[in-house]
């Protein structure tokens, strides 16, 4: 067998895949560093703070609220825009944020001063607030939510970026498979020289030469991980895409994908622009 397949690749020629390892704090720091490096690469963007929040569980919003209070002053009403790529989770974030600030007012404030425009928010049932969907482009216009003091929280349509997976994979089943719906728990895969890692049929990592290395992969639970010999990687992906490795979940969808863009890493440093696959 050239490959070991599954969410946790079994050992093969010294390769193994397991979930977990580092603590949540360490993983959070790595994600922040990665985000800042991407912003620096873009060049025309600026970031002063990075806050990790979970719009599903509601964690991290306390720190975000404290930071917002430093910028938002009573009597100086402003619009707060939530922006990002298509399917980045903006509407889910808006719903959770509205739920958080409405709950935080307590019982000593009259209903007139609460965020009445937030509507009926039931996060688990998805009722009220902004409409959420795995289908890209659900939010088609600016949606305003009036807050106290004249402030407005505005949900915006997603910015289409051709290299993102939501633009390459359009089926809800594929997009849901890639979404991070649980606590960050990276897949750790060991590669030896001459081996490749296939994440679904959309990402391929080859270790051309050098000593063995461990890769930490932050992927959704629905993405299969396959370790195989590099010389067989192209055939493995072509033959198993849509049938044994996912996403995509359709052979036809795999055939419609564009060719892979090659990016070379030397000594852990990229010598080409970051991108997909």
Which pair of structure tokens corresponds to residue 99?
Answer: 């739920």
Q: Give the E-state strand segments of 105-202 in sequence order.
A: 143-146, 152-155, 187-191, 195-199
> What does pTM read for this prediction?
0.64
Tokens 């977990």 correspond to 20
How would you class 197 by CB atoms within 10 Å of its CB: exposed for 0-12, middle for 13-18, buried for 19 or more? buried
Which pair of structure tokens corresponds to residue 254?
Answer: 């795999």
CB atoms closer than 10 angstroms to residue 163: 13
pLDDT at 248: 93
Write the pLDDT tens digit of every residue in 151-160. Answer: 888 889 888 8
Flag whether pLDDT at 241 surpasses 50: yes
DSSP state, residue 162: T
Dihedral sign computed on CA atoms, order 208, 163, 85, 203: negative
Q: Which helix (H) or strand (E) holds 4?
A: strand 4-6
Flag whether pLDDT at 247 surpasses 50: yes
Q: Which has more confidence, 196 or 84? A: 196
Q: Which helix (H) or strand (E) holds 151?
A: none
pLDDT at 111: 37
- Beta-ladder partners of 18: 188
């Amino acid at each position: 067998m050239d490959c070991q397949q599954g969410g946790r690749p079994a050992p093969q020629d010294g390769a193994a895949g397991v979930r977990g390892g580092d603590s949540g704090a360490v993983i959070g720091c790595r994600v922040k560093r990665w985000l800042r490096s991407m912003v620096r690469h873009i060049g025309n963007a600026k970031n002063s703070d990075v806050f990790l929040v979970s719009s599903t569980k509601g964690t991290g919003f306390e720190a975000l609220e404290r930071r917002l209070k430093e910028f938002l002053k009573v009597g100086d009403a402003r619009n707060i825009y939530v922006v990002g790529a298509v399917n980045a989770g903006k509407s889910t974030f808006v719903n959770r944020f509205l739920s958080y600030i409405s709950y935080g007012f307590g019982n000593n404030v009259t209903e007139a001063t609460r965020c009445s425009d937030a509507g009926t928010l039931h996060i688990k049932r998805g009722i009220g607030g902004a409409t959420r969907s795995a289908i890209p482009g659900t939010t088609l216009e600016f949606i305003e939510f009036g807050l106290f003091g004249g402030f407005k929280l505005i949900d915006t349509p997603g910015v289409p970026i051709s290299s993102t997976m939501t633009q390459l994979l359009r089926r809800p089943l594929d997009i849901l498979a890639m979404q991070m719906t649980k606590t960050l728990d990276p897949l750790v895969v060991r590669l030896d020289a001459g081996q490749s890692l296939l994440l679904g049929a959309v990402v391929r990592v080859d270790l051309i030469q050098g000593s063995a290395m461990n890769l930490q992969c932050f992927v959704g639970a629905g993405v299969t991980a396959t370790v195989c010999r590099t010389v067989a990687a192209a055939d493995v992906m072509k033959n198993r895409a849509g049938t044994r490795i996912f996403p995509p979940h359709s052979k036809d969808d795999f055939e419609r994908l564009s060719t892979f863009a090659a990016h070379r890493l030397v000594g852990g440093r990229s010598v080409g622009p970051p991108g997909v696959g």
